[in-house]
Amino acid sequence: MDLISLILSALFVGLIIPAIISTVYHQYILRQKLKNLPQKGGFPFGMIFEYIKRTNYERLLLTRQNMLHFKEGIFVNWFGIKPFINLYKPELLEIILPSTMYIEKGNPYKFLDSWLGKGLLTSTGKQWFHDRKLISPTFHFNILDKFAIVILENRDSDKMSRERITTIQAFINKAALDVICETAMGVNIRAQEVETKYTATIHRSSKLLMDRFFRPWQWPNWLYVLMPIGKEYESGINNLHKFTREVINKRKIARQLQNDSAKSENKDDEFNIGKQKRKAFLDVLLDQNEKDETPLTDDELRAQVDTFMFEGHDTTAVAISWTLFLLGNNLDQQEKVHKELEEVFEDSKTPASVKKLSQLKYLDMAIKESLRLYPSVPIILRQLSQDIKLSNYTLPKGATVSIQIAFMHRNPQIWPDSTKFDPDRFLPENSKHRHPYAYIPFSAGPRNCIGKRFALLEEKIILTAILRKWRLKSVKATEAVQYETSIILRPCEKIFIHFTPKK
């Protein structure tokens, strides 16, 4: 045996064999801890091949099939040697979501690090508590009330009249992007007038991330960045970061040139976006950051703004699109929305105020029902920091819990005729006995969506602007349109709707 062969043999015996033994041992211990739970997928590959060969929509159907089979609201899905404990029963979620002990996101969120860094979506522990406290004031209701005017200025439903049958996603995405840029970034990018690649880049990046999750050979970062697909992803993320950094730097420079707070408030520090002057979220964030004892670094600030940009426009845009699509497929319910709008606004042509919006109870129920059927964020992953007892089962420390919001929202044990669009589910008399964790489109507990009220306000304003002028009829039936999870629950195709002017 030559020297090289001897060295390789020694390495194999000294390093690789112990690593294999250690992996097998830890797998045995882990599987012993989980053996009492309902399970899908055996050692060593689990369900990996079942998922790889399917489309994203087929993967959702497979998970739903498993959910219907395991009626206890819990089962383990082995993906390779990694277990994902799926939960879709409110009584089980009630133990995890309200607790500050289980706020750590699951390992797959690490794929987002190069994009969103340790922003509010991905951070945990002391950093998350610090950042949440720092950012919460930017979503104060009085601020949202002022920003309603920004949203009103940016919606223009007349753009829909260029074609009687049109796809809605592009228009809604651009409108939502304009809103979040002015409110979060303080910049009017005129996305509805000027072509921008920002939304397309986000959608492509999200799809690449989901594809990566189902391809374990792409998990190591050092290998992923060498692949063509990894290089494409990094290029897209760099473009998103470049835009964000430029805006932040412009705002910082403007603030440094201000002589005093009065001058700042009346001139540079607020954008003139209509007759009223308001601070953008970024300005409020910078104000808070200057007062804080441990301010955010430039990269941390950029991560927070990137998080606002992504979650603040993409989730809202897809929610509005799904609501329009569902109303276009359920004409009786749509007629109730129109009747309510006519009662509230009568013959007025003025934009909706926050006070008027609060009177739209049926539209509010329609939005809630749309978010039940198509929650913008369908899955949340949590990493358990310690053992936890759920029902008759003990989940071990370090396990990844997959909170299946979309499947719980369609669980027939909770929602009779669960695939039917029925806003009356949210009438007070129909909701009062429902478990508080049966409906969580914005998550729940300390890590719930910080922008929930802002998102609902934006949805109501844009939907009201469209529905006051148009009647809708979807070209395709609900069951004919497939959907997928690419972080956000979005349709697999363009949604076309026929628009008829209201008389």
pLDDT tens, residue by residue, 397-424: 888 999 999 999 999 989 999 999 999 9
Question: Rounded distance, CA 53 to CA 94, Å?
Answer: 35
The answer to the question of residue 49 being in a domain is no
pLDDT at 171: 80
Alpha carbon of 380 to those of 113, 122, 375, 474: distances in Å? 16, 11, 11, 30
| Cβ contact 207:233 at 8 Å | no
Contacts of 417 (CB under 8 A, 6+ apart): none
CATH of the domain at 311: 1.10.630.10
Which of 169-178, 203-212, 367-376, 424-433 shows the lowest per-residue confidence on average (mean pLDDT)? 169-178
The answer to the question of residue 309 being in a domain is yes
Count how many residues are written for the chain: 503
The answer to the question of residue 353 being in a domain is yes
Per-residue pLDDT averaged across 303-312, rounded? 87
Per-residue pLDDT averaged across 456-476, rounded? 90
Q: How many CB atoms lie within 10 A of CB 257?
A: 11
- What stretch of H or E contains 30? helix 17-34
Question: Rounded distance, CA 237 to CA 227, Å?
Answer: 15
Under the banding of pLDDT at 50, 70 and 90, the label for residue 331 is very high
In sequence order, the β-bridge partners of residue 83 are: 78
Per-residue pLDDT averaged across 130-147, rounded? 71
Select the highest-mean-pLDDT range: 124-138, 237-251, 430-444, 447-461. 430-444
Per-residue pLDDT averaged across 202-210, rounded? 90
pLDDT of 354 > 70? The answer is yes
pLDDT of 125 > 90? The answer is no
Question: Rounded distance, CA 66 to CA 60, Å?
Answer: 10
- Number of domains making up the chain: 1
Q: Are strands 39-40 and 74-79 parallel, antiparallel or unpaired?
A: parallel
Rounded to the nearest 5 degrees, what angle is found at the Cα of 64, between the Cα atoms of 58 and 70?
140
**pLDDT per position as a tens digit, 245-268:** 877 887 777 677 754 454 545 544
The answer to the question of residue 9 being in a domain is no
The answer to the question of residue 447 being in a domain is yes
pLDDT of 343 > 90? The answer is yes
Rounded to the nearest 5 degrees, what angle is found at the Cα of 457, between the Cα atoms of 455 and 461?
120
Token digits of residue 121 = 């979506």
Q: Is the dihedral of CA 361, 366, 369, 370 positive or negative?
A: negative
Under the banding of pLDDT at 50, 70 and 90, the label for residue 115 is very high
| Cβ contact 106:382 at 8 Å | yes
Under the banding of pLDDT at 50, 70 and 90, the label for residue 309 is confident
Instruction: Give the residue among 404, 398, 419, 403 at the shortest CA–CA distance from 481.
Output: 419
Dihedral Cα 367, 73, 435, 336, nearest 10 deg: 30
Instruction: Give the residue among 283, 285, 297 at the shortest CA–CA distance from 255.
Output: 283
pLDDT at 258: 59
Which of 176-190, 255-269, 423-437 shows the lowest per-residue confidence on average (mean pLDDT)? 255-269
| Greater model confidence, 182 or 123 | 123
Q: What percent of the chain has pLDDT over 70?
A: 84
- Indicate the DSSP class of residue 278: E
Question: Rounded distance, CA 215 to CA 210, Å?
Answer: 9
Per-residue pLDDT averaged across 179-194, rounded? 72
Q: Are strands 165-167 and 379-383 parallel, antiparallel or unpaired?
A: unpaired
**pLDDT per position as a tens digit, 149-178:** 666 555 555 555 455 667 888 888 888 888
Which of 67-81, 173-187, 454-468 shows the lowest per-residue confidence on average (mean pLDDT)? 173-187
Contacts of 310 (CB under 8 A, 6+ apart): 115, 116, 202
Alpha carbon of 219 to those of 19, 230, 325, 402: distances in Å? 19, 10, 36, 19
Which of 50-59, 176-185, 253-262 shows the lowest per-residue confidence on average (mean pLDDT)? 253-262
Contacts of 60 (CB under 8 A, 6+ apart): 406, 483, 484, 485
Under the banding of pLDDT at 50, 70 and 90, the label for residue 434 is very high
Which of 208-212, 254-258, 320-324, 389-393 shows the lowest per-residue confidence on average (mean pLDDT)? 254-258
pLDDT at 144: 61
Under the banding of pLDDT at 50, 70 and 90, the label for residue 272 is very low
Residue bearing tokens 């009786």:
332
The answer to the question of residue 70 being in a domain is yes
The answer to the question of residue 167 being in a domain is yes
| Cβ contact 476:450 at 8 Å | no
pLDDT at 12: 57
Question: Rounded distance, CA 57 to CA 77, Å?
Answer: 17
pLDDT of 336 > 80? The answer is yes
Instruction: Give the residue among 495, 488, 485, 489 at the shortest CA–CA distance from 55.
Output: 485
In sequence order, the β-bridge partners of residue 489 are: 485
The answer to the question of residue 190 being in a domain is yes
Under the banding of pLDDT at 50, 70 and 90, the label for residue 55 is confident
pLDDT at 32: 81
Under the banding of pLDDT at 50, 70 and 90, the label for residue 355 is confident
For 201, the domain range is 55-501
